A and B are shown apart, each in its own frame.
Chain A
Amino acid sequence: MISQNALHHAEKCRFCFMCRHLCPVQLQTGREINTPRAKGLVLSMVSKGAEAYDQAMAQTMYECLLCDACVNDCATGYQPPIYIREARTEAVVNDIAPAEVMALIENIEATGNIYGMEKPSFAQNGEEILVYLGEVASCKEEGMVKSFLQLLQKAGVSAKVLENEPASGAMLGDLMGYVDEVVQQAKACTAAINQTGLKTVVVLDSYDVQIMKQKYPEWGCEIQADVITATAYIAQLLESGKLQVANVNRGLAACHDDDRLARTFYEFAPIRAIAKAAGFEVTEMFNKERLAKSCGSAVALAYMPKIVTQIAAGRWEDLMRTEAKIMVTANPQAYLCLSQAIPEGYQLVDAYTALLSNLK
């Protein structure tokens, strides 16, 4: 049951080949089926009854990071992730989604996170802002979480972190498309945020920001607070002088633009401001800002680790084309993926930890 809207996006491709050169999955695997236009063709054939939607096709639909690089550059304005998400819904409904994907969905059902683990608690009871950490940061990037919370403390910001932070729906939405189960997670998350009564929510993971700002309003989930990215918030603290930094030079670095932040919100300046404040001289990779190449997502890393590690290596290759030996990121998912493939002699830096170590 692929919607007419999704089919419209799938079928109107005019084969300009532009997205073929941008898709990070296709670039690493070299497989034609991994291009967004091939995925559209497959779905078009299925919708016309020429082919049955089978496991191999479903597998292909999961070989995508939903990074929007193709959307950014599609000459005709079509948005492959719309039909790719719906194809994932079809795969789950028809029980033909890859077993690795189904295992992650079961983990979410059992524990609320893809890792199937009890989420570590970073609960604190501040009164000024609410910090939403997200499951990847909480479960996998403890160092980044701690540095971020310490930065807030140093700036004198009284931050609250929920004891049982509900999932935003971003992970489930990537795994099974936007279905009612995701809306229910969004509703629970909205209710938990609103219950705090705080008027600012600072969100660490751009995947969570994206769903909160883009999809929640469509689903009638109204967060009664300003939702702001962690990078933008820290950049504001730097600008206002609440965070004072020492004058050191830690060498040349390039910032990895997190794809969801860069392409959904056009947010590129804060990560550079933080990197500079942390003492780095900032240079640029060719694929930067809205053209940033994805380095993988946590959810994709969990179900296709080999391909995502290759993709992360591809992002390091971008860095190798510059003079820099250091890559800076403030996104927990990017940090997790990039850390899978750090080349010898190169360094991955979490922007918050770096900044923390450079405070006056």
Chain B
Amino acid sequence: MFRILVCVKAIPNTTEVSFDADGKLQRSSAELQWNVADLAALEAALTLRTPESTVTVLTMGPQKLEMPLKELLARGADEAILITDKSLAGSDTYATARVLAAAVEKLGGFDLILCGKQSLDGDTGQIPGMLAAALNMTCITNTENLAVSNQQCALDRILEKGIQKLTLDLPCVVSVQPYAYTLRLPGIMAMRKAREKTVLMLNTQDLDLSPETCGQSGSLTKVVKIHPMRHGHRNGPKEADLAVGTARILTLLKEVK
């Protein structure tokens, strides 16, 4: 069986985020939605699937992701796995990649691991590379037009000034462009079947991870403070006179190279 894994992340609805008194993002109360690039990665996996392959979705997050994971089962994934544990809260990309890598090993390995190019909240794009490093695999980022044959994956890698056509040996980790694929709609029968399916729940114990390697204590980066942006305010005096204001705007525009 050819096994494809898709790593997906639930991110806060970007128009709904709030911050606590320390300026830290409040994830628990936020409405969550799947990161758009990860859904593209799932569609890429479903496009590659044959009767001899399976598609598994894997995520790390709160227990409330069980139903949203079932939605991905309805969209076509064969199985869904949720790593959920309070000690994982506050994980940076390094700690997250280690947990995902532990899960990949626990689950017996995969032939192809797909991720979205980057998440809309953290926006780092680091997970694919870090996950590949933890698993000692090749990683190619920012891709589209994936095809698999003879234990190899052919793809287009989107670069700033062109498209690189590559063929990689499997297993490997590949990150997918957000708009390269649109995730298919679920069917009524598929939705009914998905509700019957079980989402496999894993915690840090299942993955043999010690608490100090997880969450904030296992993270190499610390978010000290997030400053919410003030909209509609800029430094500088307000100008009541239209002509003076217009002249100032024109001067400012000319300064922008």
Contacts and interface: CB of A to CB of B under 8 A. Distances in A.
Interface stretch (A179-187, A189-197, A287-295): A179-187
Given A4-B33, A7-B31, A220-B182, A179 B188 contact: yes
A93 B184 contact: no
B186 interface: yes
Interface stretch (B66-74, B110-118, B206-214, B232-240): B66-74
Nearest to A1: B71
B226 interface: no
Contacts of B152: none
Given A1-B74, A179-B186, A89 B31 contact: no
A181 B192 CA distance: 14
A124 B191 CA distance: 40
Contacts of B190: 180
Contacts of B68: 1
Nearest to B191: A93
A233 to B, nearest CB: 31
A218 interface: yes
B33 A180 contact: no
A10 interface: no
B245 interface: no
Nearest to A218: B182
B188 A89 contact: yes
A190 to B, nearest CB: 15
Interface in B63-91: 67-68, 70-71, 74
B149 to A, nearest CB: 23
B184 A183 contact: yes
Interface string B43-81: 000000000000000000000000110110010000000
Contacts of B182: 218, 220
Interface string A159-186: 0000000000000000010111111000
Size range of the chain B interface in the assembly: 10 to 19
B253 to A, nearest CB: 31
Contacts of A92: 188
A325 interface: no
A179 B70 contact: no
Contacts of A7: 31
B68 to A, nearest CB: 8
Given A4-B13, A7-B31, A183 B185 contact: yes
Contacts of B71: 1, 3
A4 B32 contact: yes
A8 interface: yes
**A1, A92, A182: which has the most chain B beta carbons within 10 Å?**
A1
B187 interface: yes
A89 B186 CA distance: 10
Interface string B14-32: 0000000000000000011
A350 to B, nearest CB: 36
Contacts of A182: 185
Contacts of B185: 178-180, 182-183, 219
A181 B13 contact: no
Contacts of A1: 67-68, 70-71, 74, 191
B33 A181 contact: no
A180 B186 contact: yes
Contacts of A176: 188
A8 B191 contact: no
Interface string A208-224: 00000000001110000
A270 B187 CA distance: 38
A220 B67 CA distance: 27
Contact of B187 (A8, A181, A219): A181
A217 to B, nearest CB: 10
Contacts of B33: 4-5
A93 B31 contact: no
Contacts of A178: 185
B78 to A, nearest CB: 16
Nearest to B194: A1
A92 B191 CA distance: 10
A174 to B, nearest CB: 14
B166 to A, nearest CB: 25
Contacts of B67: 1
Nearest to B31: A4
A176 B70 CA distance: 19
Given A4-B32, A8-B13, A180-B186, A93 B192 contact: yes
Given A1-B71, A1-B74, A4-B13, A179 B187 contact: yes
Nearest to A90: B191
Interface in A270-298: none
A113 B185 CA distance: 22
A89 B71 CA distance: 13
Interface of A: 1, 3-5, 7-8, 89, 92-93, 176, 178-183, 218-220
Given A1-B191, A7-B31, A179-B191, 12 more contacts: A1-B67, A1-B68, A1-B70, A1-B74, A4-B33, A89-B188, A93-B191, A179-B188, A180-B186, A180-B187, A180-B188, A219-B185
12 contacts: A1-B67, A3-B71, A4-B31, A8-B13, A8-B31, A89-B188, A93-B188, A93-B192, A93-B195, A179-B185, A179-B188, A183-B185
Interface of B: 13, 31-33, 67-68, 70-71, 74, 182, 184-188, 190-192, 195
In order of increasing CB-CB distance, the 10 nearest A-B pairs are: A180-B187, A4-B33, A93-B191, A180-B185, A1-B71, A179-B185, A181-B187, A92-B188, A183-B185, A179-B187
